Structure 1
Amino acid sequence: MSLLLEPLVAAGKEGVDMVCSDGFIRRVFPILAAYVADCPEQCLVACVKENRCPCCRVGPKQRGDNLVHTLWRDEKDTLAELAKHQNRKPSPLFEDDGIRPVYKPFWADLPHTNIFSCFTPDILHQTILDARFKAMNAFAGLRHFKKGISTVSQWTGAEHKEMQRVFLGVLAGAVSAKVLTVVKSLIDFIYYAQLQSHSTKTLDALQAALDTFHTNKQVILDLEIREHFNIPKFHSLQHYVDVILHRRRLHIDFAKKAYRASNRRDYTEQMALWLQRQEAIALRVSYIQWRKNQDLSADADSSDESDNEDEPQSAVARVVVRLPSTNLPAVSYKIAKFPAIENVAVGHIQTAYGAINIIPALTNFLELYFKPSPGDCPEMELDGANEK
């Protein structure tokens, strides 16, 4: 990997000139943003033991807890501990963090890169494994394990997914409702994690499934099915939401979608061309939106100037609108230049729309927000309590 990524070191530090989609040459600084690998390879790249988390410094006895915040590993600290260990001056932190002696990791010289935040989830190795399988009824779309699962010599990702579809049905009636809740929450987590695209709603559901598992997992310990959940695979689930938010989009937008847009032959060139066109469209849309905003601002300024030129300066009265303070988020509104329905009587509005208090409400609004202040209007003066 050091030889493979060697050109990236100089490019990330000094930059390289590249032709962008708009035809201009710009200096760009490419960096390593994501590293897709299975769990054992992640631990090897992170220079940690396979019973530790390659992303954070979770304690050996806290891997089964539902942690809200974790301390991420630091590249400088890890390299410093490796250097001390190589010089036979190891500190207690070397063993506490579960570091393994890989003295020259390939990412040591990569600029602007935090390898510990580049790892993506490994669903196959981190979340998935008979008579009841044989007893399951056959159903369209579901695989029937008529010989059970003990005869399967090698499990693939597709077979794991097929087993997940029937796993809850296999356990139904054989275990208590609490155990089913734990199993269901884990299966829900796996299926949510495999969605091709995510929204705030699906990420909330993903986190809720994990929280449900940790809330009910004690029943597994009470039944002595397991002694503890203090294993790296369960802890790795803590990082899924963060990784999906910050890294997953890169793999989907720049790799998966680009590949699907090709004809699967000589796809590398087609993917690069597709990404170039997508970038060109995005730049064009951004430019058009910017020009629209510029035109709207220019029209508003010219309209204000023309209004001021039509009347003498002495006859122009300023109206100051004072809005009450609020903690609500700012919201933009679009107001039509012309009413959709003209010449509507107030009585019709009160009857058709139930706005029975429209007249007093409008009166209060105008008095509150559009009442000129002293000095705002040249023709208005205050003399004690009398108003002229």
Structure 2
Amino acid sequence: MVDISQFAESALQLRRSPNPIPHHGINSDGYPSHFDVDFFETEGEEYMSAEERYEGTGTCYSLDGLTFLDLFDVDEYAECRKDNLFYPFASKEEWEITDFLLRSPLSMAAINEFLALPMVSALHKCWHFEILWTRNFASSPSRNSQVSYPSHPQIEAVIHWKCQIIPSLHRTKTPIRLFWRDPVECLEALFSNPLFHDKLDFVPHHMYTTAAQLTRVYSEWLMGDSAWEFQSQVPRGAPILGTIISSNKMNITTMTGARVAHPLLLGLANICMQTRMKLSSRAFLLTALLPIPQYLHPNQRMRGVLEDCLIHQCLSIILKPLMITAKIGIMMSDPVRNVHHCYTPLAAYIVDTPEACICGKTSPFTMASYLEFGDNFCHPKCTCYITLGQLAKIHVDPNDLEGYFDACAVYRLNGVHAPFWQDWPFACPSVFLTPEALHHWHKQFFDHDLQWCIAVLGAQELNFRFLIVTGRVHRDLQCYIVGLIYMSQSPSLDDNLLASIDQSLSTFHQNKDVIMMLGAETGTKKTIDNWYIPKLELMQSITASTCKVGALIQWSADATEHAHVSEIKDPVRQTNNNDYDPQICHHLDQQDKLRQFVIAMTLKSGVLDPDPEELPVDEGDDEDIAEFNEPCTDQQTALLEGLNCTRVTTNYFIKAKEAATVPCGPSPHPPRTFTADNTAIHLNYSPTRTGMKIDDVADEFNILDLHDAISNFLQLDARNRDVIHEVGVSRRSLIDRPSTLPFDRVQVWHTVHLQEVSFHDPRVILPAQTLHASPPCPGWPKGQ
């Protein structure tokens, strides 16, 4: 990277966006000026030019609901906390040490060693006792059918775990135990969580790009057709709380043991998409641990049928309270004490393809069989009425496994006689089962699309073409090869983009025979001459599902599977590696109480505004100017940022704006941050090498036209003094003007920080990436 000392210019050629737009600086909000930021306002606000809202919903029945702090203040020690907020701890400092020990991975023996240290022993005895008591109350769980917990006086659990024995007519190695907690209480905990108070929306609405309402936009769940239809089925004024459930089997041991868990997570679709998908928000709660029994039936296929039936039976038990509230509603209090009469329809079931499919060798969304997976059109939807009608035509006793399974084969069903959703009002598999990015798109791309490219081009050629692709390989390669998958991941799609997705898929089907002609579709042993690819058929439902439930990226299992770390894998590390489920429940119960106490103490103590200087900042050097942070006008919003503080992404667009606002005049330090289109460029304060002759730089880096390039850049800069160092413009011929420079030495940087905004959403500033450039050497003839 070459810098022209007093001009601080660069000749770096940038990777341009697919449709570059002329750059004229950055606007007052710190975004590139060609972005229409008014089109992308903050969550919960109207950001399109036209909106149609469902009238008469979100009615508040009273203002005397119970908030989080109201529930916290009803215990017997509320009077003691009037004098000492952190009672029974003597001070905030004592509580912070206790909280650290309880959240740490230290064993009880290690904590005892710490407490036995002379300095620690000199502290208050009540603190010493409180640590031991709080830690011991979540020791090995009870083995009774009903799990019960002692109640900590200051860390009151809101949602208690329960254990239920599931009877079975078929023998298993161990009794079938279901650990679960009330899903209505879980949903209410999310609904009333003070951390989400400004991230909730209750009103279904249709968004358009213009006031003429010609082009519809789909983003949040409440912007889809299904939310509008649900709202029309409930009493006027009653808000709908979209229920999200997710389940997926996972390994909880590494390399050995083959221990598996099947967690059921629950979320709230009314929480804005960006907050819900953020891992630090903890917007998904573990609601149940589904049993994974070992049936002793001699037929392996029948054992699979029994497992499928058990899953639906357990889901029916767990989710029954939600089904009741979807019928008659329930009074709930939001985070600011407003009471609403809420209904709980099933918004989405985030699940992998094998678990989602009730039918064997058929699509979970449509009536297509495996013979029709390669068709270039979308088959009729597999609605709840079709499936329940087929089940009603089967008159074989479900306890006769073989006979009932054979009868189901006629309708391509997998033997489940009682789907969990059959009693859930408004629930239809063709709506709540959606195409899923992680398992359906990314896996399909790597299993098929990429293999076709390797078979046609060869592994060596493909590796050469994409050798520069680093990190997040699945997604990065898709940006270069498959446009359909990339477009489908947009957090905001309009009718035009949906039409482009359909056209892209149609183009593939029109030309897919070439793949067969080249023999690119191969299996493990031979070439495949058919299109029996389930995930290919699922792509036909992308646009239809988007219209129903909003942007499909919000239903990706990526967020829920990451939640498995905090909800399952971390608690497992605290167990004795025997009988995991009850110990996981106890650990989560303890962590929930600690988290609630932290929130309550933070709210009551008024420590709401995090100090920006204490937050870890992304790449930068000591001489960087201060990071610009918009002041947080809402205290509870600041609380969310404070409790969930993660690494702060440095906004180099803001830095460039601040550099542009500096009064004109001589400066001891030329600016080090510039913008070009949708990219910001930042140089470290100190160059790697100083005082190098231009000819020496050209020879060392093998840049033969460096002299002409710098001269061309200076001439462009002289004609555009009102623009701060525009980088990335096209080169012009210098035939009519000699290549002269007012200097012969330059400064050189070997590293540069590049930052871009998200292609789909220019509000999102992506983390900066560091580009290293080294001159040619024997090991790297063309440099590195």
What is the TM-score normalised by the length of structure 1?
0.50
Indicate the structure with greater strand content. Answer: 2
Of structures 1 and 2, the one with the larger relative CO (CA 8 A, separation 6+) is 2
Indicate the structure with greater helix content. Answer: 1
